Amino acid sequence: MIDKLEPNFSHLFNGVVWNTVASNDEKILLVEVRKPEEKRVLFSAFNYESNTFLWRDRQLEEPWWVNASAIVQGMVFFTIYFDTNNPDKKGILAYSLNELQLVWWNNDFSVSQISVLGIRGFSGKFGMRELILDVRDGKEIQGQGAGEFPHQDIKKPVQYVEGTQYFETVKTFLLNQLNLHAVSALEYLETSHCFLISCYISAGENLLANFLLIFSKDGKLLLKEQLGNRVSGIGLDTFFIIDGLLFFVKNKVELVSFRIL
């Protein structure tokens, strides 16, 4: 059982932290930061083991219609969109992790899963056909079975919406413990040392405030952080844990981490 949390780091970004992709094999967190007013997206690779940036605020050849997908075997993968009216028309870009240099690409590939075994997805060139591409060069792997790909050891919360039994149970707990009136939805994750709750309360004018709450197993409050204020909707995966580190984003611009073990 733990009785306090140790801060790990906090980094501010010049834009909206839109997406994060983690790899516990590479010990890298890929941060996707969007600047809507400029129609630009910037990417940063952060080594969470050494607390250093491999590179920061890098822009790809496509400035906007691209997003981060995965980090596998020293490669970084992105999805690129070719038709803003048809999100099914997309491809995959493969860059080297260390230098962020383009290694290969495929303009007709929709990714469903990426792992060390390969990149599983669909090609529409000859009708929708499932295939698996080699991570290193993008060539099709022949005779690859359709077995399960291994998953990254990333712990993410489960979401419960208002009206479900579990939501009401946690809502009553928060009301009794902190006098917080949870609404709309919440996310819950339990570890061997503590349990974590991301919940929403009314902020007036049909807006919400989002809080992350961490309790020890005996119910002691270890952390209370406001992740966002006056937001218009609920989020998904508002926090996650990898290699004993907790990650979350505050106010859309600040990436924060605590040691959870």
Say what the pLDDT of residue 94 is: 97
What residues does each domain of the chain span? 14-152, 155-259
Tokens coding 111 = 């990714």
The Cα–Cα gap between 203 and 230 comes to 6
Say what the pLDDT of residue 124 is: 80
Say what the pLDDT of residue 234 is: 94
Is the Cβ–Cβ distance between 177 and 143 less than 8 Å?
no
Say what the pLDDT of residue 147 is: 55
Reported for 165-174, long-range contacts at CB under 8 A and 24+ positions apart, including other chains, are 170/197, 170/199, 174/199, 174/213
The C-alpha angle with vertex 115 and arms to 110 and 121, in degrees rounded to 5, equals: 20
The Cα–Cα gap between 196 and 175 comes to 16
Residues recorded for the chain: 261
Say what the pLDDT of residue 148 is: 58
The Cα–Cα gap between 138 and 107 comes to 11
Per-residue pLDDT of the chain (261 residues; tens, 9 = 90+): 567 789 999 999 999 999 999 999 999 999 999 999 999 999 999 999 999 999 999 999 999 999 999 999 999 999 999 988 887 789 999 999 999 999 999 999 999 888 888 999 999 876 788 889 999 999 999 866 545 566 668 999 999 999 999 999 999 999 999 999 999 999 999 999 899 999 999 998 899 999 999 999 999 999 999 999 999 999 999 999 999 999 999 999 999 999 987
Structural fold of domain 14-152: Lipocalin (2.40.128)
Burial class of residue 213 (count of CB atoms within 10 Å of its CB; 0-12, 13-18, 19+): buried
